[in-house]
Amino acid sequence: MADDLNYLPAARLAEMLGSGKISSVGLVQSCLARTKAVDGRVKAFNSCDEAGALALAQDSDQRRAAGQARGPLDGIPVGFKDVIAVAGQPLTCSSKMLANFISPYDATVTEKLTAAGAIPFGRLNMDEFAMGSSTENSAFGPTANPWDLTRVPGGSSGGSAAAVAAGEVSLTLGSDTGGSIRQPAALCGIVGLKPTYGLVSRYGLAAYASSLDQIGTMARTVEDAALLLGAIAGHDERDSTSFKADVPDYRAELARSKGRWRLGVPKEFFGAGLDPEVGAAVKAAIEHYRATGCEIREVSLPLAAEYAIAVYYLIATAEASSNLARYDGVRYGRRSAKAKDAVDLYYQSRAEGFGDEVKRRIILGTHVLSSGYYDAYYLRAQKVRTLIRNEFTAVLRDCDALLSPTSPTAAFKLGEKSSDPLAMYLTDIYTISVNLAGLPGISVPCGFTTGGLPIGLQIIGRPFDEAGLLSIARHYEQAHGWYSKHPSL
């Protein structure tokens, strides 16, 4: 059974810590007990730093007793996708390649969170090197969906979503390159926010596709997403694509929201392939906005709908083949014992260290960048990317945000799509174009299928307007309160 704290939002836990109703040590113990009770079945965590978390919780309680608490996140455990560096902790990317890797330094988001008093609680399972949509590509075995253990949690941040849905921790970090925060958030019935490209530093995030990767937040409520985003956002000179944007108090902005937004509905995002139950739930959410004074406009994103997946799999694999060249068995990571000579060390270490999906993407990316194919594939994809971005820019001129399904279906069965890479890629059809355009996107729960599986509403915002995006998301969330439902585990 879950105890009283396991399903409370972080904002409420912060209040209870502030008033002395609970201690950070007690909170960490509650998370540890829940993790021990359910994670054998859910398998959200690759590892958990029990002693480290308890020590940091003690520090937090002492700070608070001395009147030196650092803010609302002080003493609150946060789970990290196993792709973000925490000094002294493992960083595996759920790959055999990095099975024994220990981070020598902190990611910028880690520095910011620990400075705010948050407690790095454990390392969350993912598709290997964030390549996948189901968490089945983990070298350490799949994570299960807490709502139905025979189904996938989505991916690649499947562990980050499942840990929140299972009541193990209230806040987790994920990364999103083509939907890897929003899609698992939808499939697990939680809130997942991918910020604008450039708002959150990527320093200390193991790179997959650098022009698309973005760290973001996974939480039970929109308010919690706002709280966590405020702690990790901001310019960082160690990431050259980091933007000098103002970081408002996102949580305070929620209270100031004016409502009556102009919201666009891209008609192509409701076509063939969309599960009828998912479509109905999303349309009901759109009707809620209309009924509460918002102006709903049908808009058209023909290029994004038709070409985003093709563009993505050329650009992302090209960048991946380049980024993953660093895993060569020399300076860190797996080194083959079978190598005949120095060059064979590369071939054998990479063959032993990488799983199938990573190998596939490296081969594809190598192909699209290779002599004779670069213009036809990579350069053409980058040009279509420009057209897709322009298409979003045009519709967002007249709309505050766009509404769509997050994923075309609810959670699918473990093994259902794992032998057909293209079918798996198509599950990201509504999320991928948002990364290509660099926009912020959020998935909020908007109901359940008759089979009891969560459904997600995606809201796409203007660049660096996370405050507006969160307000629009909260407007729906508060009226429906899907977050009060939990899986029985």
Partner 1 sequence: MSANSDLNIDYLANLARLALTGAEKEKFSRQLGDILHYVEKLKQVDVSGVEPMAHASPVFNVWQEDAVRPGLPVDEALRNAPAQRQHMIVVPKVVE
Annotated catalytic residues are 81, 156, 180
Binding mask 55-94 for partner 1 (x = CB under 8 A): ----------------------------------------
| DSSP per position, 418-478 | TT-HHHHHGGGTTTHHHHHHT--EEEEEEEE-TTS-EEEEEEEE-TT-HHHHHHHHHHHHH
Interface pick for partner 1 out of 12, 267, 335, 486 (rule CB under 8 A): 335
214-219 and 171-176 beta bridge pairing:
antiparallel
| Interaction between residue 109 and partner 1 (CB under 8 A) | no
**Beta carbon of residue 397, minimum distance to partner 1 (angstroms, whole number):** 16
| Interaction between residue 416 and partner 1 (CB under 8 A) | no
| Interaction between residue 332 and partner 1 (CB under 8 A) | yes
Interface pick for partner 1 out of 314, 432, 457, 459 (rule CB under 8 A): 314
3-class DSSP state of 348: helix
Cross-strand pairs, 191: 219
Q: Before 156, cis peptide (omega within 30)?
A: yes
Closer residue to partner 1 in complex, CB, 292/386: 386
Interface pick for partner 1 out of 96, 267, 367, 485 (rule CB under 8 A): 367
Which one of 61-69, 274-282, 311-319, 450-458 is the stretch in contact with partner 1 (CB under 8 A)? Answer: 311-319
| Interaction between residue 448 and partner 1 (CB under 8 A) | no
**Beta carbon of residue 204, minimum distance to partner 1 (angstroms, whole number):** 12
Interface pick for partner 1 out of 17, 73, 437, 460 (rule CB under 8 A): 437
CA 249, 252, 254 angle in degrees (round to 5)? Answer: 115
| Interaction between residue 425 and partner 1 (CB under 8 A) | yes
Closer residue to partner 1 in complex, CB, 81/385: 385
The residue to which tokens 């093709």 are assigned: 310
| DSSP per position, 363-402 | HHHHHHHSTTTTIIIIIHHHHHHHHHHHHHHHHHHH-SEE
Residue 463 neighbours by CB under 8 Å, 6+ apart: 196, 438, 439, 440
For 322, other C-beta atoms within 10 Å of its C-beta total 16
Interface pick for partner 1 out of 288, 310, 416, 486 (rule CB under 8 A): 310
**Beta carbon of residue 344, minimum distance to partner 1 (angstroms, whole number):** 8
Interface with partner 1: number of residues (CB under 8 A): 75
Binding mask 183-212 for partner 1 (x = CB under 8 A): --------------xx-----------xxx
| Interaction between residue 462 and partner 1 (CB under 8 A) | no
* Residues 135-194 contacting partner 1, CB under 8 A: none
* Residues 264-303 contacting partner 1, CB under 8 A: 303
3-class DSSP state of 14: helix
Interface pick for partner 1 out of 289, 313, 476, 483 (rule CB under 8 A): 313
**How far from chain centre, in Å, is Cα 64?**
31
Interface pick for partner 1 out of 67, 272, 331, 397 (rule CB under 8 A): 331
For 192, other C-beta atoms within 10 Å of its C-beta total 35
Rounded to the nearest 5°, which phi and psi values hold at 192? -130, 125
Environment class of residue 473 by beta-carbon count within 10 Å: exposed (0-12), middle (13-18) or buried (19+)? buried
